[in-house]
Amino acid sequence: MIRSATLTAPSALPSIPDNNRLRLLSGSANVALSQEVARYLGMDLSPMVRKRFADGELYIQIQESIRGCDVYLIQPTCRPVNDHLMELMIMVDACRRASARQITAVIPYYGYARADRKTAGRESITAKLSANLITQAGASRVLAMDLHSSQIQGYFDVPLDHVYGSPVLLDYITNKKLPDIVVVSPDVGGVARARAFAKKLDDAPLAIIDKRRHAHNVAEVMNVIGDVKGKTAILVDDMIDTAGTITEGAKLLREQGAYQVYACATHAVFSPPAIERLSSGVLEEIIVTNTIPVSAENHFPQLTVLSVANLLGETIWRIHEDTSVSSMFR
């Protein structure tokens, strides 16, 4: 069951007339989220034909006039990443050729983000490459949520609004009224994220897991820096992929005397064998958002999926009305 955030549509939000310049389009990656965003804004998704030719090539046609409109294309570039990234670029190109006034790529989850710098010779920086492709396709601006690293904001040569899923996660955690919370970063690279999360939880103490990564998706947990004994530990990360880091970290926290362990992440990537690891019982609860759709067969008792639709809808409305986005997170 997906729970919506407590954010409600502003009372000043008018009904959207047919001749309004705001248009919402959805890619195939997460139609359910797009429909929720549309409901928050009190409008419908623009009709679109999407089909494939016999050789797998994608065909897209927008079924209403968007000439002079501000168009928002909602498409996380999640698995299959290549297909969804290409679909987003074709949608952007279709809007550009249909004379849209402004085209905003709304990317709840930005794929290829982990290769954000060179760590060895002869590597590609795919986070920058993807940004170039989206920009060159014709996107006027980008709205992204919880990018893997903050420097990716600078990879786009168009304006980018970066929003966070943390208000939705924090609202849920706060309402649970958990005792003796300590926020834990699963690695040194996530300390800033965990510190910001802890600050919002009445300046909860912070702990760090010292981790060594020997290969992609392979991590060895080494040590816990900080006191977790007898406390409720909340592991905070931007994404859960194969869940190796989260589950090994949870085991170590329990060995160090943590009373119970929760995990919070914005993006539920859930590559195999994530489901088996997360449902093993080492974590009290895994709290994620619906930036990436979680299929019914991947749900398990410890999983809670929260909706970021209201947050994205409010951000889209503020961009459209030229009002502050950053004030939402103060």
Which residues are marked as active site? Answer: 211
> Which among 125, 122, 141, 108 is positioned nearest to 29, based on CA atoms?
108
Give the 3-state DSSP-derived string for the chain, with helices as H, strands as E and coil as C: CEEECCCCCCCCCCCCCCCCCEEEEECCCCHHHHHHHHHHHCCCCCCEEEEECCCCCEEEEECCCCCCCEEEEECCCCCCHHHHHHHHHHHHHHHHHCCCCEEEEEECCCCCCCCCCCCCCCCCCHHHHHHHHHHHHCCCEEEEECCCCHHHHHHCCCCEEEECCHHHHHHHHHHHCCCCEEEEECCHHHHHHHHHHHHHCCCCCEEEEEEEEEECCEEEEEEEECCCCCCEEEEEEEEECCCHHHHHHHHHHHHCCCCEEEEEEEEECCCCCHHHHHCCCCCCEEEEECCCCCCHHHCCCCEEEEECHHHHHHHHHHHHCCCCCHHHHC
